[in-house]
Amino acid sequence: MNGTIGSNVRVGLARARRIGSYAELQEQLHRDLLAQHPEWIQPDGNCPKCDDYDRRFAELISFFRTGSLDSVQRAA
C-alpha cells in the first residue's frame, strides 16, 4: 500500500472519531467537498453541487433517524 494512502486513511479515521453529531459530520463533509473540488465553487462563493450533496445527506440521515431503512433501500 502506498504510504500516502495509508496515512490519509489514518488521518481520516482519526478525524471521524472526533465527530460527535450528524451536524458536525455534515459540516466536515461540506468542508471536504469544498477542499477536494474547488472547481465547484462559483465566483460568488456559492457551491450548488455541495448544496445538493448536503441535501442528499440530510435526507439519508432523516431516514436513519426515523428507522426508515426500507425507504432508503427503495429510493436507491
CA distances from 34 to 29, 37, 40 (A): 9, 5, 7
CA dist 33 and 71 (Å) reads 26
User: Residue 13 has what pLDDT?
Assistant: 57
Name the band, by pLDDT with cuts 50, 70 and 90, for residue 49: very high
pLDDT digits (tens, 9 = 90+) for 10-44: 555 555 556 678 888 888 889 999 999 999 999 99
Percent of the chain topping pLDDT 90: 34
Q: Is-contact 57 65, C-beta < 8 A?
A: no
Where in the chain are the domains? 21-75
